[in-house]
Amino acid sequence: MTQHPAGPAAPPPKAATPPAHASGHALLLTEDAEVIGGPPGLLRRLSAKERAAVLEQGARKVVPRGATVFRQGAANDGIYLIEYGRIRVFYAAPSGREITLAYWYPGNFVGGPELFGGKTHMWSGIAAANSVVVHLRSEALRALVLRMPALALGLIEGLTFKGRCYSALAQMLGTRSVTERLARLLLHLIDSYGVAEADGVLIATGFTHADLAHMVGATRQWVTISLKRMAEQGVLETRQGRLLVRNRVALEAMQAGDG
């Protein structure tokens, strides 16, 4: 990652493809309607003066798509506030298999649950699109929290939300079939990214079959076969690398285990 001195924001890098519009601060696999839109922004309670003071203590970094922000098992030294782009947070098993925990968007922070150092990262974060983050180191973050109750509240809200969404993900992985999870994810993508077309709803996300597989806990090959089967059933079709959902009712039935 390229580090830039703290100060005025560097202009956002130009992505290879335009970043998809998100309906909130996060994209995650859950059945809990209250967490779908993501948590409130970390700095939303702060005054303009307080926000400037927080950003002044951070180191702004431009993170190209595919670059690592933090790595599972590495020493944790604070959090990363997302200013631009999209950060994928995931856990990698010893076998190398990955499960995506969530995609986080501007206004949120990644790098927890440890905030003040002394531990290692429990998962990894990489830039899913060209991104800009502000690294708030543990010592500086601790000092800011001691004098800014609004920042402390924002951190508590963020950690509480992440705990809820990761718990919801664990529940889905343990109680729902892979087909049900894929249907739930597609419905979530419709609601977050869907664009109405004359013959259905177009999901213009830029996510690959591998991305979808990592979110539902399956292999890329399984997702590809499942999407092909759905296409044969008239549920959806692939259009220039994007998905056009023709039958939402059928997806809802699959999500409920009736498909």
What percent of the chain has pLDDT above 90?
43
Could you tell me the residue range of the domain that residue 190 belongs to?
A: 178-255
* Residues 110, 201 share a domain: no
A 10 A CB-CB count for 209 gives 18
* Residues 66, 31 share a domain: yes
Look at the pTM and tell me if it is higher than 0.85.
no
pLDDT at 19: 38
* Residues 131, 80 share a domain: yes
Q: What DSSP state is assigned to residue 208?
A: -
* Residues 154, 102 share a domain: yes
| Residue ranges of the chain whose pLDDT lies below 50 | 1-23
pLDDT at 66: 94
Helices (H) and strands (E) in the chain, counts: 7, 14
β-bridge partners, 126: 68, 88
pLDDT in tens, 35-64: 556 667 889 889 999 999 999 999 999 999
Domain end residue (candidates: 115, 145, 175): 175
* Residues 238, 120 share a domain: no
DSSP letters, 57-121, are: TSEEEEE-TT-EEE-TTSBP--EEEEEES-EEEEEE-TTS-EEEEEEE-TT-EES-S--SSSSB-
Instruction: Give the total number of structural domains in the chain.
Output: 2
How far the first Cα of the chain sits from its last, in Å, is: 45
50 and 151 Cβ atoms separated by less than 8 Å: yes
* Residues 63, 88 share a domain: yes
Domain end residue (candidates: 145, 175, 205): 175
pLDDT at 38: 63
Specify the amino acid at residue 173: L
Q: CA angle, 195 as apex, 191 and 197 as ends, to 5°?
A: 125
List Cα–Cα distances, 125 to 15, 121, 151, 231, in angstroms. Answer: 18, 10, 22, 33
* Residues 128, 187 share a domain: no
* Residues 140, 59 share a domain: yes
224 and 187 Cβ atoms separated by less than 8 Å: no
143 and 81 Cβ atoms separated by less than 8 Å: no
A 10 A CB-CB count for 3 gives 10
